[in-house]
Chain A
């Protein structure tokens, strides 16, 4: 990953409270074009909250987020048009057809009308949805619904793609397809994803950030994380050692 690639996403000192409880405290992140970053962490570490803030669904209580130089709070239209977001639950209208839904998502993200037909065909090819265009979303299997969710996030060709647990609930061959797709997207876009699966980190990510109690406690390239300690530990053990060291 070249260090000279332009920065597409930068977040500084994000904090977020729910009531009195501070869920995210002082989180800073940077992402360059052509980079795939993975957010790791236990349940409740604040991964989903972080991703929701980066996508503009939640406002941070303090801190700043910039997408390709546009401030997410001050220029939300410019910034959000450059983000594609797949939440934990794909936001699908069950009664719509796949094509109609994807065209709606493209229009919402201000894709020029002349490009919609091409974007639709290209996205369906990438996500393996060629035969599903006329199908009603509610009748698709969980795996295909997840693919429609991913398609919705990339149809407007965003600079920054945010995926919250993209491979959850998929079968092994679908997981492999989605990982290939993420890797392919990572070459030309910036991708940030959260996951529990350490195999995902090994196969698709350039960089890892580990979260605990709303803070980033470890960040490095995934190659170096695998060399952590004496370099003979499995990734699971590295992850557990890092998170438990911090607990003490």
Chain B
């Protein structure tokens, strides 16, 4: 049942022209940024060659690219999550799910997984672009994978939060702005806390992505991401139940 809902969400995304437009625009941005970093790397390559243990192409090109994608995801996730529940409520299609023999948890997980498959495509396309470097230079696959995994977990957090905000309202626009405001607010908390040990930093998902970004698989960060996503998914399930209760 989760899979039925997930596949339907995934396929319906491609029925919208805006999805194709966003995918195209993203590829353009990735390519632009990728080539700009490549250019910068090639210019300093001669100097780098004289240092022992010099940073390679992965560190110089892939890491900043994934860092940018993490920021872009902050805008991208709300744009897609806004439709998940808010639009169903506005178009009064939510009642089809509510009167089906499907539990609230399955509805929420189905929608979450459907969108995650789509966002995974975007992450994969970015990773593939970096992998083309392997034609000319050895790559640090470990660093690349830790970045991709970190980004995936970060995206799961953003999607779960966006899904929850989407369940609160019947206006997709309000859902998008609400989720964006929450994500942006947490990011501001992170960059305004200057020193690394500040407790405020620990609140923001972006700060937990940093260690994945430099190739560090920290179990505390993974637990944070899992908890963050689970909490918001549970809140969404609860909200759907209240929907039955209070109309």
Q: Are B244 and A59 in contact (CB under 8 A)?
A: yes
- Residues of chain B within 8 A (CB-CB) of A105 are 96
B149 sits at the interface (CB 8 A): no
What's the minimum C-beta distance from A29 to chain B, rounded to whole angstroms? Answer: 17
- Residues of chain A within 8 A (CB-CB) of B247 are 18, 58
- Residues of chain A within 8 A (CB-CB) of B245 are 59
Given contacts A56-B99, A80-B100, A91-B96, contact A96 B12 (CB under 8 A): yes
Contact of A92 among B12, B16, B93, B244 (CB under 8 A): B93
Please give me the residue from chain A that is nearest to B94 by CB atom.
A91
A94 sits at the interface (CB 8 A): yes
- Residues of chain A within 8 A (CB-CB) of B103 are 76-77
CA A18 – CA B244 in complex, angstroms?
Answer: 12
Given contacts A18-B247, A104-B4, A108-B4, contact A83 B96 (CB under 8 A): no
- Residues of chain B within 8 A (CB-CB) of A96 are 12, 15
Q: Are B12 and A89 in contact (CB under 8 A)?
A: no
Contact of B100 among A18, A94, A109 (CB under 8 A): A109
Given contacts A77-B103, A85-B99, contact A94 B12 (CB under 8 A): no
- Residues of chain B within 8 A (CB-CB) of A224 are none
- Residues of chain A within 8 A (CB-CB) of B11 are 100
How many residue pairs bridge A and B at CB < 8 Å?
Answer: 67
Contact of B92 among A18, A59, A91 (CB under 8 A): A91
CA A18 – CA B245 in complex, angstroms?
Answer: 10
CA A76 – CA B100 in complex, angstroms?
Answer: 9
Count of interface residues, chain B, beta-carbon cutoff 8 Å: 24
- Residues of chain B within 8 A (CB-CB) of A93 are 12, 91, 93
Q: Are B95 and A76 in contact (CB under 8 A)?
A: no
Count of interface residues, chain A, beta-carbon cutoff 8 Å: 31
Please give me the residue from chain A that is nearest to B93 by CB atom.
A91
- Residues of chain B within 8 A (CB-CB) of A104 are 4, 8
What's the minimum C-beta distance from B238 to chain A, rounded to whole angstroms? Answer: 14
CA A100 – CA B7 in complex, angstroms?
Answer: 12
What's the minimum C-beta distance from B72 to chain A, rounded to whole angstroms? Answer: 25
Contact of B95 among A77, A91, A95, A110 (CB under 8 A): A91
What's the minimum C-beta distance from B8 to chain A, rounded to whole angstroms? Answer: 5
CA A56 – CA B4 in complex, angstroms?
Answer: 21
Q: Are A78 and B95 in contact (CB under 8 A)?
A: no
Please give me the residue from chain A that is nearest to B241 by CB atom.
A59
Q: Are A57 and B98 in contact (CB under 8 A)?
A: yes
Q: Are B99 and A57 in contact (CB under 8 A)?
A: yes
B36 sits at the interface (CB 8 A): no
- Residues of chain B within 8 A (CB-CB) of A95 are 12, 15-16
B136 sits at the interface (CB 8 A): no
Give per-residue flags for A89-119: 1 if the beta carbon is below 8 A from chain B beta carbons, else 0. 1011111100010001101111000000000
CA A152 – CA B122 in complex, angstroms?
Answer: 34
What's the minimum C-beta distance from B32 to chain A, rounded to whole angstroms? Answer: 31
- Residues of chain B within 8 A (CB-CB) of A46 are none
Give 7 closest A-B pairs by Cβ, nearest first. Answer: A91-B96, A80-B101, A108-B100, A91-B93, A77-B101, A81-B101, A95-B15
A–B Cβ pairs within 8 angstroms, 27 of them: A55-B99, A56-B98, A56-B99, A56-B244, A58-B244, A59-B244, A59-B245, A76-B103, A77-B101, A80-B100, A81-B101, A83-B99, A87-B95, A91-B94, A93-B91, A94-B91, A95-B12, A95-B16, A96-B15, A104-B8, A107-B1, A107-B4, A108-B4, A108-B5, A108-B97, A108-B102, A110-B1
Known: A108-B4, A108-B5. 6 other contacts (CB 8 A): A56-B244, A77-B101, A81-B101, A91-B91, A91-B94, A94-B91
